Structure 1
Amino acid sequence: MENAVNHRHVKVNGLRLHIAEQGQGPLVVLLHGWPESWYSWRHQFAPLAAAGYRVVALDQRGYGRSDQPEDVSAYTLLHLAGDVIGLIRELGEEQAILVGHDWGAPVAWVTTMLRPDVVRAVAGLSVPPILPTGMVPLSVSRALYGEGFYQIYFQKPGVADAELAKDIPASLRRVLVGASGDNPRNSRPQPWIIPDGKTLLDTVPEPPSLPTWLTEADIQAYSDDFARHGARAFTGALNWYRNIDRNAELLAAFQGRGIDVPALYVVGDRDMVTSLGGPGRRRTDPRKVAPHLRTPVILPGCGHWTQQERPAEVNTALLGFLAQLDRAPTG
């Protein structure tokens, strides 16, 4: 039924991956971030499908209803990009448009860098094109922010895993509200630092209420999918962070490569990501990495959960970007 979001599993690179799909037409693959799932794109399915696109969102490896490999090294960006390319082929398509949010954005950027023959166009939400590795190396983050930086904190085996899995709904509620534009602390975005002697969840207290864009039913939908992996509910997701330095090694040969297809970047002005780089440091102009980048879309008052906090604005930006692709040749 074209008007419904349909769910199934596909076999890709030896893994069983869960996908949600709707619509017919050119393929648009939606790549979620941490700590989310296909469900983070719930507001994008109907508008994109109605505009004439085949929309597919997956639970990426380690997440939700998809398989969770035990080996920490099975979560590199090469594995993740391979999953995307394998999925496109499994769906019977030659090309796709990629849209990624948070960690899904580096997956989209790196996949595009590696396979511009398969990726027709790319959009990143929250995380700009940082190539060739997609993420800042841990040595740089450690020098800038110290041992309390959340990506460093996530390196400790089992620590954040157990903390987050103890009460999955509460953990998700705290993290989602804590990094949103509705948290007054994010009126001036700053890096996520866990002070010495504190835990991750100490920095994101239980919110007194949920913002309008997030309901208890949404929290439950996420929780049900994470809970499928039991005590390892968050381990697969955290293993992505545990490969940041490995990614730098594996992708070093691609230094200097860029994004050679039409690209879009969307970010909230209250997103923590906008604060990264350190005092007095300037980000590289993203157009040096992606010369075909459209004018970035900045969403006032929006925090980290771009497509959930501002679905109407994100959908407008995506549909406008896709319409431009249909009117003009790529390249």
Structure 2
Amino acid sequence: MICRKLAASLLIGALALAGGAVVVDRRAAAREAAAEAAYPPEGQFVTVDGLRLHAVVAGSGPDLVLIHGASGNARDFTFDLVARLAPDYRVIALDRPGLGWSDEARAKGLSPLAQGDLLRRAAAQLGADRPLVLGHSYGGAVALGWALTAPEPPAGLVLVSAASMPWPGGLGGWYVINSSRIAASLVQPLVAAFVPETHVRTTVESIFAPDAVPQGYADHVGAGLSLRRDSLRVNTAQVNGLRPFVVDMAARYAGLALPVELVHGDADTIVPLEVHARRLAPLIPGARLTVIPGAGHMPQHSHPETVIAAIHRAAARAGLR
């Protein structure tokens, strides 16, 4: 009798869990579809190794590739920066593999070097064989990976708040939780299904802090694309897997022979200046570091004129201007 009651209880519990999973799945799928309808691709697609990679192309002049950071997409740049740069450059803003509208690169996509190689070949298909490359945050590691793997290095690098050096300690709570595949399989669908808009805006504010979020940015950037289950899974895997790659990459930075401009805020708590840019600059021959007093993690928005000046300097040093 006890065994029968236990079996019945387990069956009821399993059915309840299954029913809950169905609700979560349906709600997540509906929110994902709504986000994709609200934030469709802004550009075009190129295919590299069977992967469709999304690129927004604007302007004319020397080629300049923009690579976004973690949890992001090319919309971070199309909000304002692309329009500022288009009079002087042919700008190519790319979605990194598995984020925005670009296909996932599976295991290869965990490496910033492999991502850099994929984006290099995507840019080449668009006629940019030796562009300037700007990388923000995680995109800085990808830009460095591009320079380290390319048969011919890019014309120059502009590294903005770039994650470039091994860091002490671990990552934040979100990444710790999602380092477990089992926990991630439970948490990420719930986030995709139920995270409120107020939490999204609070998160965006924390990324910009101490700087203010520009008016209209949160509505433009398409955070809903980043909250899709596949995007959450890809992003957390990439960030959790980054440190071993930058350990190996750091040993090779001294061999880079190209103009490198670094821009970093001294109030950046996400990718701290003293851990990354301050230590990176002496490793690359001729690298120039611009520190922005009081700036946080998003100087391309809070101090765009400083970032654009660094781009112009890199272009001049490369003989493009």
Alignment of 1:286 with 2:280, yes or no, is yes
Structure 1 pair 253–263 and aligned structure 2 pair: CA distance change class (3 A): closer
Structure 1 pair 242–269 and aligned structure 2 pair: CA distance change class (3 A): closer
Superposition deviation, residue 29 in structure 1: 0.5
8 Å Cα contact 2:164/2:277 also seen in 1: no
2:296 match: secondary structure: coil
Structure 1 pair 274–41 and aligned structure 2 pair: CA distance change class (3 A): same
Superposition deviation, residue 283 in structure 1: 8.1
8 Å Cα contact 1:72/1:242 also seen in 2: no
Structure 1 pair 88–213 and aligned structure 2 pair: CA distance change class (3 A): same
Distance in 1 between the 2:99 and 2:277 partners?
30
Which residue number in structure 2 is paired with residue 226 of structure 1? 226
Q: Write the letter of the residue equivalent to 1:268.
A: G
Distance in 2 between the 1:253 and 1:287 partners?
11
Relative to the length of structure 1, the TM-score reads 0.71
Deviations 1:8-58 (A, max 9, x none): 11112221111111112221110000121101112221232212x110001
8 Å Cα contact 2:160/2:299 also seen in 1: yes
Q: Which has the higher helix share?
A: 2
8 Å Cα contact 1:97/1:119 also seen in 2: yes
Identity value in percent: 21
Superposition deviation, residue 65 in structure 1: 1.2
- 2:52 pairs, out of 16, 34, 37, with 16
Which residue number in structure 2 is paired with residue 156 of structure 1? 180
Aligned length: 275
Which residue number in structure 1 is paired with residue 92 of structure 2? 56
Q: Write the letter of the residue equivalent to 1:18.
A: H
In structure 1, the gaps of 5 or more residues are 184-210
Distance in 2 between the 1:284 and 1:300 partners?
14
Which residue number in structure 2 is paired with residue 167 of structure 1? 195
Structure 1 pair 239–128 and aligned structure 2 pair: CA distance change class (3 A): closer
Structure 1 pair 258–15 and aligned structure 2 pair: CA distance change class (3 A): same
Superposition deviation, residue 95 in structure 1: 0.8
Distance in 1 between the 2:125 and 2:111 partners?
21
Distance in 2 between the 1:72 and 1:168 partners?
31
Distance in 1 between the 2:274 and 2:252 partners?
21
Which residue number in structure 1 is paired with residue 263 of structure 2? 266
Alignment of 1:180 with 2:180, yes or no, is no
Superposition deviation, residue 86 in structure 1: 1.1
Structure 1 pair 235–219 and aligned structure 2 pair: CA distance change class (3 A): farther
Whose Rg is larger? 2
Deviations 1:70-108 (A, max 9, x none): x45532123212212211321123211110000000111
Alignment of 1:123 with 2:158, yes or no, is yes
Distance in 1 between the 2:146 and 2:62 partners?
18
Superposition deviation, residue 253 in structure 1: 11
2:64 match: secondary structure: strand
2:86 match: secondary structure: helix
Deviations 1:248-289 (A, max 9, x none): 68x479656532111000011210122665xxxx98743432
Which residue number in structure 1 is paired with residue 141 of structure 2? 106
Which residue number in structure 2 is paired with residue 213 of structure 1? 214
Deviations 1:166-212 (A, max 9, x none): 327444322221132337xxxxxxxxxxxxxxxxxxxxxxxxxxx35
Q: Write the letter of the residue equivalent to 1:161.
A: Q
Distance in 2 between the 1:304 and 1:253 partners?
21
8 Å Cα contact 1:116/1:261 also seen in 2: no
Which residue number in structure 1 is paired with residue 75 of structure 2? 39
2:127 match: secondary structure: coil
Superposition deviation, residue 109 in structure 1: 1.4
Structure 1 pair 291–274 and aligned structure 2 pair: CA distance change class (3 A): same
8 Å Cα contact 2:135/2:159 also seen in 1: yes
